[in-house]
Amino acid sequence: MTSTVTERAGSAATPGSGSRRLTERVFRIRESGIIAVFLVFVGVTTAIHPEFLNQQNLQFLLVNTVVYALLALGETMVVISRNVDLSIGSVLGLSAYVSAGLFKPHPGIPIPVVFLVGLGIGLACGMANGLMVALGRVPSLVVTLATLYIIRGIDILIVGGNEVTAQTLPNSFANIPRANVLGVPYLAIAVAVVIGAGAYYLRSFRSGRELYAIGSNPEAARLAGIPTGRRIFTAFTVSGAIAGVAGVLWAAQYQTVDSTAGTGYELTVISAVVVGGVAIFGGSGSAVGAAVGALLLSSITSALNVLGISQLWLEAISGFLLLLAITLDRIISLRLQAALRRRSAGVGT
Amino acid sequence: MERDLTARLSAAARASLRWEAGLGLLVIAIIIFGAVTSPQFLTSVNFFNTGVSSGEIAIMALPMTLIIISGEIDLSVASILGMSSALLGYLWARHWPMLAIFVMVALLGIVAGLINGLLVTRVGLPSLAVTIGTLALYRGVALILLGPNTISNFPAGYTNIGINPLPGTQIPYNVAIFVVLAVIFGIVLHFTATGRSIYAMGASPEAALFAGIRVKRVKTMLYVISGLVCALAGVLWTFRLATAVQNNGLGLELDVVAIVLLGGVSIFGGKGTLAGVVLAVIAFAALQNALLLTNFNQEATGIVIGALLLVSVFAPNAAALLHGLPRWARGRPRRAAPSP
């Protein structure tokens, strides 16, 4: 796991640094592994049932994925730094209700303002998480488990017994997930761009690389002069902000928002992230992998539909897939370690 | 060096004692709050209701305590409860004799725990990821077994455990089972070599291994016991509500983890006592009940639970927090962080 920091840095391929080339090769396999699984899955499903790839189904699939894929981007940043954010489901729920609830008392409110409100709620929650984890140096699992409860509790108090209903939402808002160009939803394009930007940031920006360093070895990262507290704070803030925006999108998609919106999303998103090749203890993985993980999980739903298999199998299959993904990852990293040891033994003597 | 170590150990012991004393005070405060705000709070009927509705969560918190002290976690507990409940309903609907069903459910719990344990210890995977996977997998099995069906024609002799206390007392069956299990788990954790080894592997897995402790075997055993106990909780839950349905106990894993952490068990392992967890169970149940009786929106008790959880994690770190503040503020990035 520790060798992953060199994953991209070594792309200049200095000849002679054999271990770097090896790392790169394995990581290319690892990155492409999830994509290969996804392609095989789509291929097999399409071969059995060509409707799987029809436009309506694809559109449905993409819209269904965007919320998870967005959340997966934020969670990836947090997990790479050897932390975890369990509060995203609650943040999504709070943001969905408060932002979409604005339409009833203020019917003419501009949609960007609604998004800004969602973003603001998410930012506030994410910064609270980040401050506690970075300043207090307490385990993020406990902090975000606590904020999962607290934010959901605040949501429940605000919602009371009410709910946002579809009638109160303007068409322009409800149509956000449906607007498309040549059959591709604008929303999917926008989310793909955001994920691309996030992936680029993690891959190529110094502060992005530092998240990997922190996740590989927090103590070494600190000694190397990386402002670990700031970086972790940033990761949680981004994760919260994304969850806030995802809440607004969730409201636009489902149009009925009560106090249970987003319950349990945290574990699904972590599953997607881990299936996508992000190591749960940090230091390796990519945002693109996590997004493909989210895409794979939601295409299973859609494939079960098309193949006429009962949706009842969905949960078991996604759980099995997660176990398979982490087991394969473990085997690959063991092989890598063994190969590195052989190589260094050969070079050393 | 040695004195330093003993000093540190006794400091840790004092700190944990302080924590349990704090929890004890918290329980007393909640009881006073409940008694003052509602005349029903201190009645035997209310005692029964409070106990019966938290019994299974309390039972699942016991093996969770040992697992977290050993440095691992088990998020699949509520799914094992749901899966056991589903198997119970499935087999009952197929007219199996109850005794045979109990054997099958117990076996299912053991197998579920064994899968967790083997993946964590033999394959060497992080328990957080493994048990998020089995959380979905086991809940998925419950879904496959029952689908949208509800099985509720259990004989009254069994389902009465949700209505009647143990004969001659006011104690619900599930609370009685919790008390017995708590005593057993407490003895094993605090008064046996195995119990000490659980602390040792939580504090330092390598040191424990070099000291000759069979870390993998003990951890696997803990997961198996957790699976078995959660299966028992599943049976109790099913009979108490007289319903087997696929989403029984959905989401309880986080409540269980929250209780254990609130009880002063460190998420990093190696620290905590069973007495603390029992106090946390009482605090959790009493708080939920007191807020229910005062017409506070009961679902929002999460705010109080979450706040207590934060206190539990920040209290021991208060010194580090004060220390960390200036250092964090001083941290100079070499380049302004671009916001993505």
pLDDT at site A79: 96
For residue A181, give the 3-state DSSP assignment.
strand
pLDDT 10s digits, B297-322: 666 778 888 888 888 788 766 655 55
Residue range B240-255: average pLDDT?
90
Interatomic CA distance for residues B13 and A341, integer angstroms: 43
Residue A349, amino acid: T
Residue B295 touches chain A, beta carbons under 8 Å: no
Q: B5-19, B73-87, B156-170: which range is least confident on average?
A: B5-19
Please name the residue ranges forming H helices in B149-251.
156-159, 173-191, 193-203, 205-210, 215-241
Q: Under a CB-based contact definition with an 8 Å cutoff, are residues B35 and B42 in contact?
A: yes
- Contacts B126 to A, Cβ<8 Å: 280-281, 326
Instruction: Look at residue A3 and tell me if it is in a domain.
Output: no
Residue B124 touches chain A, beta carbons under 8 Å: yes
Please say if the pLDDT value at position A132 is more than 90. Answer: yes
φ/ψ region of A137 (left if φ > 0, alpha if ψ in -120 to 50, else beta) reads left
pLDDT at site A64: 79
- Asked if the Cβ–Cβ distance from B302 to A149 is below 8 Å, we say yes
What residue spans define the domains of chain B?
Answer: 12-312
pLDDT 10s digits, A4-39: 444 444 344 444 455 566 665 655 555 667 777 788
The shortest CB-CB distance from A316 to any of B141, B302, B333 is to: B141
pLDDT at site A8: 41
The better pLDDT of the pair A2, B186 is held by B186
Instruction: Look at residue A14 and tell me if it is in a domain.
Output: no
Instruction: Look at residue A150 and tell me if it is in a domain.
Output: yes
Whole-Å CA distances, A235 to A79, A140, B260, B321: 9, 12, 28, 20
- Asked if the Cβ–Cβ distance from B307 to A264 is below 8 Å, we say no
Instruction: Look at residue A95 and tell me if it is in a domain.
Output: yes
Shortest distance between the Cα of A16 and any Cα of chain B, in A, equals: 31
The shortest CB-CB distance from A316 to any of B119, B140, B301 is to: B140
Q: Under a CB-based contact definition with an 8 Å cutoff, are residues A211 and A202 in contact?
A: yes
CA angle B307, B313, B314 (to 5 degrees): 85
Instruction: Look at residue A92 and tell me if it is in a domain.
Output: yes
The predicted complex's ipTM stands at 0.80
Residue B258 touches chain A, beta carbons under 8 Å: yes
Instruction: Look at residue A303 and tell me if it is in a domain.
Output: yes
> Which structural domain range is residue A62 located in?
20-342
CATH class, range B12-312: mainly alpha
Query: What CATH number is attached to the domain comprising A130?
Result: 1.10.3470
Shortest distance between the Cα of A331 and any Cα of chain B, in A, equals: 9
Residue range A186-201: average pLDDT?
93
Using pLDDT thresholds of 50, 70 and 90, give the confidence band for residue A2. Answer: very low
Residue range A90-98: average pLDDT?
96
Residue range B90-116: average pLDDT?
97
Instruction: Look at residue A15 and tell me if it is in a domain.
Output: no
Please state, for a pLDDT cut of 70, what percent of chain B lies above it. Answer: 86
pLDDT 10s digits, A241-279: 999 999 999 999 888 999 889 888 888 899 899 888 888
Please state, for a pLDDT cut of 90, what percent of chain B lies above it. Answer: 57
pLDDT at site A84: 94
- Contacts A150 to B, Cβ<8 Å: 302-303, 306-307, 310
pLDDT at site B15: 62
- Quote the number of domains for chain A: 1
Nearest to A88 by CA among A262, A228, A209, A255: A262
Handedness of CA B184, B189, B191, B194 (dihedral sign): positive
Handedness of CA B223, B226, B230, B231 (dihedral sign): positive
- Asked if the Cβ–Cβ distance from B133 to A326 is below 8 Å, we say yes
Nearest to B76 by CA among B252, B265, B235: B252
pLDDT at site B22: 86
- Give the list of residues 6+ apart from residue A298 with CB closer than 8 angstroms, or none: A61, A64, A65, A68
Q: What is the pTM of this model?
A: 0.83
Instruction: Look at residue A169 and tell me if it is in a domain.
Output: yes
- Contacts A139 to B, Cβ<8 Å: 267-268, 313
